[in-house]
């Protein structure tokens, strides 16, 4: 066993409780940690993690982090003291702690059945999407880069109008759906599920396979509450967007059919009712879910989730569109100021006779445009930055089963705070919860607060040409995060929860300051990062034949789950392209 392997084993032993460490093979766990670290497709973060492991494997490196002797040579109690000190120390120490803790706990609880909580039983995966993909053509009328909420709708509209359409998807066409947690994150999420801001303070979840976010989201279908503001400030016509929403909801079969509430949803509803707060059942694009949900995050194995591959991509293919997977776009090709095609990362090219539609999402769309030489791109990034609280309940139902999001509390929506419930998986939960502690206590229920932030983020490129996410919550966003925590605690108390905790490090039952890597922060909705480079019709300023049709168009943070809004804006953009072509 080399020095890095010894360090990984020592980290795993220190992070796990004595009880849980005794249940696993620590050598095998160290191997799994190394495999997960090596599988990160983002070169920069993967390299930084390897440097960290090398650093703490040496006496000098540990001295730079304020400790003595190689990490693996310290007694177990000293290793735990070192990690605890780092968890509240200087920024570099906090970043190191979070990287090590998350890696060890995800590898352990996400992959080791002996650590899974009562009530969690992964299903057998089903076959993947019944959607034919193609080889790369030499040319098409329109190239659509991205197959998620925006790209699928744009592709369908253009194909139905009679144009020859090629859809480029950087990720895979999954052969299986309803995957286990480790495989699901690796195969279906951007960055293999390991994507974060540059400083690791915000974990980023974004779809990274065929169907994008529509394949991995939790089916929640909100109408946008911002249309009046967007029409007034940005020229987006409210009536036309609402017309598109009606069509989108019909195609996705959006409904409010009741589903059985799991523990988190049951507790949220009960807490709101006991406080007299506004709570409502969510509208969802699921049909015949039949209360058998569990693996929504890793692709619906029942075909109940009306995701893009079952709806708009299917429509696009029926009208002749070609879908090419494993086709990451490197840059857009131009003839002077007109978009003429796309070059892939392997050097292959596909030419566009009429135009290129960018719909890679608010992280990858600006990265592609920056690699293509455009400027003024990447600012105004909103993340719907999210945190959570958790508590124990005596209810006989589990939070690890059932519809992930079925009810929501919109009592504070006008203040930029929406309270919902997350899907719960052992590895992700253990990596997110504060340390030390039992991350998967019996009767666990979790609430999350989605914050309408103020566009404090920015996308830039690293030296490898990959996206770098910088984000620091401003004063207003931090105030909303703290208020969201306070109100979630009140909800847990009103619902009968006990041992209530926030995601602050170290563990606490009261709100604290919003300090990077001292509180668990997440983002499942990214938006706004191209809004300053386009007009109200999604046309790139100063470029002909180049359009943007995804959440990066949003002028401001939305405040609610964005899928329906993304699709409606993409339909609006595509309608104008058809009319002008």
Q: pLDDT for 462-498, tens place per residue?
A: 999 999 999 999 999 999 999 999 999 999 999 999 9
Q: Is 280 helix (H, G, I), strand (E, B) or coil?
A: strand
Task: Give 512-535 pLDDT, tens digit per residue.
Answer: 889 999 999 999 999 999 999 999
Judge if 337 and 248 occupy the same domain: yes
Residue 301 included in any domain = no
Domain containing 392 — which CATH number? 3.30.410
Listed residue (364, 366, 345, 350) closest to 143, CA to CA: 350
Mean pLDDT of 240-247: 98
Does the pLDDT of residue 54 top 70, yes or no? yes
Q: Is the dihedral of CA 7, 9, 12, 17 positive or negative?
A: negative
Q: Is 338 helix (H, G, I), strand (E, B) or coil?
A: strand
Query: 462 to each of 189, 466, 468, 570, how far by Cα in Å?
Result: 20, 6, 6, 29
Picking from 64, 85, 113, the residue at the C-terminal end of a domain is 113
pLDDT, position 291: 66
Q: Which residue has the tokens 């970043």?
A: 95
Residue 204 included in any domain = no
Task: Give 346-372 pLDDT, tens digit per residue.
Answer: 999 999 999 999 999 999 999 999 999
pLDDT, position 121: 80
Picking from 523, 548, 566, the residue at the C-terminal end of a domain is 523
Residue 416, token pair as written in the block: 């930029």
Judge if 168 and 281 occupy the same domain: no
Judge if 553 and 497 occupy the same domain: no
Judge if 286 and 234 occupy the same domain: no
Does the pLDDT of residue 269 top 90, yes or no? yes
Judge if 167 and 25 occupy the same domain: no
pLDDT, position 296: 86
Task: Give 374-412 pLDDT, tens digit per residue.
Answer: 998 999 999 999 999 999 999 888 888 888 899 999 999
pLDDT, position 86: 95
pLDDT, position 27: 97
Domain count within the chain: 3
Residue 337 included in any domain = yes
Q: Poorest-confidence range of 38-52, 332-346, 408-422?
A: 38-52
Does the pLDDT of residue 510 top 70, yes or no? yes
pTM over the 0.85 mark: yes
Q: Find how far residue 507's CA is from the centre of its chain.
A: 24
pLDDT, position 290: 67
How would residue 511 be classed by pLDDT, with cut points 50, 70 and 90? confident
Return mean pLDDT, the chain: 95
Mean pLDDT of 549-563: 98
Mean pLDDT of 99-117: 94
Residue 192 included in any domain = no
Residue 120 included in any domain = no
Judge if 60 and 154 occupy the same domain: no
Instruction: Give the single-character DSSP code of 113.
Output: G
Asked if residue 368 lies in contact with residue 145, where contact means CB atoms within 8 angstroms, the answer is yes
Residue 205 included in any domain = no
Judge if 373 and 385 occupy the same domain: no
CB under 8 Å to 16, separation ≥6 — which residues? 24, 104, 105, 108
Mean pLDDT of 173-192: 92
pLDDT, position 64: 86
- Decide the pairing of beta strands 444-451 and 386-392: antiparallel
CA dist 441 and 245 (Å) reads 41
pLDDT, position 258: 85
Judge if 227 and 241 occupy the same domain: yes
Judge if 561 and 464 occupy the same domain: no
Judge if 481 and 534 occupy the same domain: no
Query: 311 to each of 126, 158, 315, 424, how far by Cα in Å?
Result: 19, 15, 6, 27
**Angle 91-109/3-15 helices, nearest 10 degrees?**
80
Domain containing 543 — which CATH number? 3.50.50.60
Task: Return the ∠ at Cα 404 (arms to 401 and 409), rounded to 5°.
Answer: 130
CA dist 182 and 110 (Å) reads 6
How would residue 178 be classed by pLDDT, with cut points 50, 70 and 90? confident
Does the pLDDT of residue 293 top 80, yes or no? no
Residue 257 included in any domain = no
Residue 216 included in any domain = no
Picking from 67, 91, 113, the residue at the C-terminal end of a domain is 113
Judge if 369 and 500 occupy the same domain: no
Judge if 272 and 407 occupy the same domain: yes
CA dist 484 and 412 (Å) reads 9
Residue 271, token pair as written in the block: 């807490």
Q: Which domain holds residue 144?
A: 126-183+222-252+307-377+529-580
């Amino acid at each position: 066993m080399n020095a890095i392997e010894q360090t990984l084993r020592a980290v795993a032993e220190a992070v796990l409780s004595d009880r849980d460490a005794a249940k696993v093979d620590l050598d095998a766990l160290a191997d799994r940690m190394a495999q997960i670290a090596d599988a990160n497709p983002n070169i920069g973060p993967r390299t930084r993690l390897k440097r960290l492991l090398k650093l703490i494997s040496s006496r000098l490196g540990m001295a730079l982090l304020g400790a003595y002797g190689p990490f693996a040579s310290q007694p177990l109690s000293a290793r735990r003291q070192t990690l605890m000190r780092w968890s509240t120390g200087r920024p570099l120490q906090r970043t190191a702690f979070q990287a090590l803790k998350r890696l060890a706990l995800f590898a352990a609880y996400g992959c080791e059945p002996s650590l899974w909580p009562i009530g969690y039983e992964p299903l057998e995966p089903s076959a993947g999407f019944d959607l034919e993909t193609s080889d790369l053509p030499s040319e098409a009328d329109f190239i659509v880069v991205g197959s998620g909420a925006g790209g699928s709708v744009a592709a369908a509209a253009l194909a139905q109008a009679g144009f020859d359409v090629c859809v480029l998807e950087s990720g895979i066409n999954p052969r299986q759906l309803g995957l286990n947690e480790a495989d699901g994150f690796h195969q279906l999420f951007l960055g293999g599920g390991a994507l974060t801001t540059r400083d690791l303070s915000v974990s980023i979840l974004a779809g990274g396979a065929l169907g994008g976010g529509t394949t991995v989201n939790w089916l929640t279908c909100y109408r946008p509450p911002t249309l009046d503001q967007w029409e007034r400030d940005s020229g987006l016509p409210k009536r036309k967007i609402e017309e598109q929403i009606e069509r989108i909801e019909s195609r996705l079969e959006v409904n409010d059919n009741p589903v059985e509430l799991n523990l988190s949803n049951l507790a949220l509803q009960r807490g709101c009712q006991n406080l007299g707060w506004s709570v409502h059942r969510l509208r969802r694009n699921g049909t015949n879910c039949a209360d058998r949900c569990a693996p929504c995050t890793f692709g619906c194995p029942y075909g109940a989730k009306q995701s893009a591959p079952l709806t708009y991509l299917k429509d696009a293919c029926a009208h002749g569109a070609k879908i090419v997977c494993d086709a990451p776009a490197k840059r857009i090709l131009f003839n002077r100021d007109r978009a003429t095609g796309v070059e892939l990362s392997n050097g292959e090219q596909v030419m566009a006779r009429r135009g290129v539609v960018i719909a890679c999402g608010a992280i990858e769309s600006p990265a592609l445009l920056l690699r293509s030489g455009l400027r003024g791109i990447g600012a105004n990034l909103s993340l719907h930055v999210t945190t959570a609280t958790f508590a124990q309940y005596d209810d006989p139902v589990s939070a690890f089963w059932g519809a992930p999001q079925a009810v929501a509390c919109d009592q504070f929506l006008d203040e930029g705070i929406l309270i919902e419930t997350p899907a719960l998986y052992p590895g992700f939960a253990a990596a997110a919860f504060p340390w030390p502690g039992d991350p998967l206590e019996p009767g666990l229920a979790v609430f999350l607060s989605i914050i309408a932030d103020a566009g404090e983020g920015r996308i830039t490129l690293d030296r490898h040409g990959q996206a770098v996410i910088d984000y620091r919550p401003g004063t207003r966003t931090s105030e909303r995060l703290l208020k969201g925590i306070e109100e979630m605690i009140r909800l847990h108390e009103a619902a009968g929860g006990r041992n209530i905790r926030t995601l602050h490090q170290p563990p606490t039952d009261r709100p604290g300051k919003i300090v990077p890597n001292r509180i668990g922060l997440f983002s499942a909705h990214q938006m706004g990062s191209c809004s300053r480079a386009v007009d109200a019709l999604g046309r790139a300023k100063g470029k002909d034949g180049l359009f943007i049709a995804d959440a990066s168009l949003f002028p401001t943070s939305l405040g609610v789950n964005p899928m329906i809004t993304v699709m409606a804006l993409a339909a609006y953009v595509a309608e104008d392209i058809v009319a002008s072509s």
